[in-house]
């Protein structure tokens, strides 16, 4: 009968590495091959997930410029005499179009065409819920429009023909975009409120100053002081503007702090995304970080600064 075959070793991960015989030289070759394979896998993983922290990111100058520019556009629209509501609708519609066109590439969602259609249709419904009704300034129809958008997002997943890979990622990314758009349409209600102008001006100052402070701290690599400095700068800017427009300074400072926190949080969440190296993605990040503070500004205008 034939004797037993010499024992061989195979890598633990089941790869098709070359079999190696017993003996010191074979064991050293096997260990070296395993180390090389693990090193290559580690490098590939780092290339996929890098960067993972704010410290590894360069300062995003276009994001800061977008925040300052669009916040200025919104406050000018809200403060416009006579045609404030119409100009604000145009400004919010422009921002919604930017988010709808660039959101899928920014977040890296599958089924980009279907997601684009879903987000665009939801943006139109949300704007129509504020513009068309006579009581659109009350925002009473916004939840209904948002609910229709959520249903459309689920229907989009059902009709996908690509096997529905990453369905949870696709659905959650789409719903995040719908939430940002729903928050943005609340800016349209500000011109019809007694405290809308004061709230918009305070929010504009807070957003612009907080974004500039974030950029400066990032450029100087003061990462530990980045968030506190941005929040403090936003609160101070809101309070100063409140004093200039003869509004409640404490409420304006609190509004500035809240707007700075919400805007900064969204930018930090989006900052590690690989697609943020493009100008279009950075514009989407900046515009979205302004739209997301809409409910805070609307609440302050309706309940805190109305008198």
Mean residue pLDDT of the chain comes to 84
Residue-by-residue DSSP string for 39-69: HHHHHHHHHHH---SGGGSPP-HHHHHHHHH
d(C-alpha 109, C-alpha 130), whole Å: 29
Question: Shortest CA distance to 192 belongs to which of 70, 71, 306, 74?
Answer: 306
Task: Give me the count of residues in the chain.
Answer: 307
pLDDT at 119: 95
pTM for this model (two decimals): 0.79
Cα dist from 291 to 10, 17, 62, 201, 207, whole Å:
56, 53, 17, 15, 11
For the ranges 124-133, 160-169, 236-245, which has the lowest average pLDDT?
160-169
pLDDT at 108: 87
Residue 19 has pLDDT above 70, yes or no: no
């Amino acid at each position: 009968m034939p004797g037993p075959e010499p024992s061989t070793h195979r890598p633990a991960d089941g790869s098709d590495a070359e079999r190696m015989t017993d003996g010191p030289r074979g064991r050293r070759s096997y260990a070296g091959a395993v180390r090389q394979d693990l090193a290559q896998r580690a490098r590939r993983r780092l290339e996929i997930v890098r960067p993972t922290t704010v410290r590894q990111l360069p300062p995003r100058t276009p994001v800061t410029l977008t925040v300052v520019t669009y916040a200025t556009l919104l406050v000018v629209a809200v403060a416009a005499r006579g045609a404030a509501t119409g100009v604000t609708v145009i400004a919010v519609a422009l921002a919604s179009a930017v988010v709808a066109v660039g959101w899928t590439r920014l977040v890296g969602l599958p089924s980009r065409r279907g997601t684009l259609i879903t987000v665009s249709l939801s943006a139109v419904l949300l704007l129509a819920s504020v513009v068309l009704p006579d009581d659109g300034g009350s925002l009473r129809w916004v939840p209904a429009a948002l609910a229709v958008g959520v249903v459309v997002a689920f229907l989009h997943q059902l009709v996908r023909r690509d096997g529905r890979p990453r369905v949870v990622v696709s659905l959650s990314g789409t719903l995040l975009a719908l939430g940002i758009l729903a928050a943005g349409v609340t800016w349209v209600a500000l011109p019809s409120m007694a405290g809308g102008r004061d709230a918009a001006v305070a929010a504009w100052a807070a957003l612009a100053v907080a974004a500039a402070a974030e950029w400066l701290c990032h450029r100087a690599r003061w990462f530990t002081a980045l968030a506190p400095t941005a929040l403090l700068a936003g609160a101070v800017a809101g309070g100063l503007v409140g004093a200039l427009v003869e509004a409640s300074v404490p409420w304006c400072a609190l509004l500035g702090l809240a707007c700075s926190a919400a805007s900064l949080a969204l930018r930090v969440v989006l900052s590690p995304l690989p697609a943020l190296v493009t100008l279009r993605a950075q514009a989407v990040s900046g515009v979205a970080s302004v739209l997301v503070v809409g409910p805070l500004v609307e609440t302050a205008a309706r309940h805190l600064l109305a008198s």
